[in-house]
Structure 1
Amino acid sequence: MAICKHFGYPDLFLTITCNPNWPEFQRFTERERISIADRPDISCRVFHAKLKCLLSDLKEGVFFGPLSAALYNVLTKYMIHGPCGRLRPSSPCMKDGKCSKFYPKRFVDQTSFDEDGYPIYRRRNMGVAVKINDVDIDNRFVVPYNPLLLMKYQAHINLEFCNKSNVIKYLFKYINKDPDRVTATVGETYHVSESSQVVDEIKQYYDCRYLSPSESMWRIFAYDIHHRWPSVQRLTFHLPNQQHVVFDDADITTHVYLRNKDLLTIFTGWMIANRRFLDGRSLTYVEYPGKFVYCSNSREWKPRQRGFSIGRLSFAHPSSGELFYMRMLLNVQ
């Protein structure tokens, strides 16, 4: 939310799916004579490398420009939904006789928005079709995409236009959704004559978290589960003489006091920095990390030489009294 407050709400929502037919996988499969599905460690490493390259391209490259040639082949291979609907009622996306993803779309000449604010993309009837599962598929089944990203990464990359601010709610739900779970039981097989034997159902019940091989390897490699850029720095604040002090249970109270009585916090260090640096006086506490960096070793703020960061004030409940009103003041003063 701090990033949205600084830059505004997002314009695009992009997802990428690993492609088991990437050339890197095919070379490994041909050499080792083993399916890539049996080597989740290899697939995770390759996907992680592709993901880092994609993030670099989005930050530094220009991918939302003119159309490129040779697009038809990759589009029909990776960005076609279905077939479903009347063409294929048994499709996994079908629920209650309809596609849960609302395909096929309808042909329209201009992009517009429906009553709920969702985009209706331009889909022209160009008379072009591709045969998938013995069914002719036209432009109504094409998933929104970016041509350059699709051609470079050769994978299913869905790109959607964001027209509503509540996409942030969906983004957090997407990142923090619960893991897959499974309910399992472990028991013995009894004959009919032994049906009177007591069975401990509580002991035999297990509520387990399911980790697929790919997710297991991803966590073993300690890859990021989610990532944000630019970085967000949490800024603490406190009332006079109410800063937090960290100590061990065995520490002597006098020693704790002497060690911390003249120690600057991030908040008091910001006040000291405003006396030294004139450039920072026009910035609020939240804006300060954009121009200055806090050195934890020396406990002081210094002018930033490179990089960028966004500040975010820690939460204060309305019942906290003066601390809550101080947070309101720090956002504007």
Structure 2
Amino acid sequence: MRQEDFNPEQTGKRIILSRSYTGGDRFMLQLFQDSMAIVRQFGRPSLFVTFTANPKWEEITAEFLPGQTAVDRPDLVARVFHLKQQLLLQEIKRKQIFGRYLGSVWTIEYQKRGLPHMHLLIFLHPDDRFLTAERIDEIVYAGLPDPATDPTGELNAIIKSCMVHGPCGEANMRSPCMASKENGGPTSCSKRYPKAYQSETVVQEDGYLKFVVWEKMT
């Protein structure tokens, strides 16, 4: 057969994967339709939570062979992350740590460094949603822990290493968060840092929050 007469559609046998095949087109479409059905039933989600694997988790580091790091054991990182993800979901669903649970939708992605993280949408009872500054302050604290509640400084060190943005702006113009403004204006942080210090939490008209900041992070 000449190359120009070759028709790939006439070669082999066409197989259509069912929606039970994880990762297939029909599987992903079914997940999307289920997610839209949840939104139609319960309305907009109440919370957006990001849960990221920590390569320093003891369950991971305790199993390393000499000289190994998390990069060398993606299988171990994925298994530990899955166990902790399931534990988090139990805390939300059964213990209802954020309020009366109605439903949830999540997706798991991998960072450029190979660590898995979950983006989680949580649907709560309408009476338990965080729509006011007072309710938001119940679960969000933008500041370093009080030494009285963190005498060893362990929590303080974790927050500084994992939850502090920057440096960016004039201190580091090459930071990934730096983006050029329109019309060729000066560069600025795409995450809107540095934040102005707030004496109280404010919910702006566009829904963007300005959280109360209790202590300057140095």
User: Match for residue 21 of structure 1?
Assistant: 56
CA deviation map 1:247-273 (0-9, x unaligned)? xxxxxxxxxxxxxxxxxxxxxxxxxxx
Q: By percentage of residues, which structure has more helix?
A: 1
User: Match for residue 90 of structure 1?
Assistant: 174
Give the deviation of 1:99 after TM superposition.
1.0
Equivalent residue of 2:48, what SS?
strand
User: Match for residue 104 of structure 2?
Assistant: none
Identity within the alignment, % = 39
Structure 1: 5+ residue stretches without partners: 131-333
CA deviation map 1:131-182 (0-9, x unaligned)? xxxxxxxxxxxxxxxxxxxxxxxxxxxxxxxxxxxxxxxxxxxxxxxxxxxx
Q: TM-score, normalised by structure 1?
A: 0.34
Of the three residues 100, 114, 119, the one matched with 2:209 is 119
1:105 partnered with 2:195: yes
Give the deviation of 1:41 after TM superposition.
1.1
The structure with the larger Rg is 1
Give the deviation of 1:32 after TM superposition.
4.4
User: Match for residue 46 of structure 2?
Assistant: 11
Give the deviation of 1:80 after TM superposition.
0.8
Q: TM-score, normalised by structure 2?
A: 0.51
Equivalent residue of 2:62, what SS?
helix
1:129 partnered with 2:217: yes
Of the three residues 150, 164, 179, the one matched with 1:80 is 164
Give the deviation of 1:27 after TM superposition.
1.3
Aligned partner letter, 2:83: A
Of the three residues 64, 68, 76, the one matched with 1:42 is 76
Give the deviation of 1:129 after TM superposition.
2.6
Aligned partner letter, 1:22: W
Aligned partner letter, 1:37: V
Give the deviation of 1:20 after TM superposition.
1.2
Give the deviation of 1:114 after TM superposition.
2.7
Equivalent residue of 1:48, what SS?
helix
Give the deviation of 1:36 after TM superposition.
2.0
Structure 2: 5+ residue stretches without partners: 1-35, 99-137, 181-186
Equivalent residue of 1:28, what SS?
coil
Distance 1:121 1:129, change over 3 A: closer
Measure the CA separation in 1 of the matches of 2:158 and 2:191.
21
Measure the CA separation in 2 of the matches of 1:86 and 1:63.
40
Distance 1:63 1:82, change over 3 A: farther
Give the deviation of 1:46 after TM superposition.
1.1
Aligned partner letter, 2:191: K
Aligned length: 127
Of the three residues 78, 83, 86, the one matched with 1:52 is 86
Give the deviation of 1:62 after TM superposition.
5.0
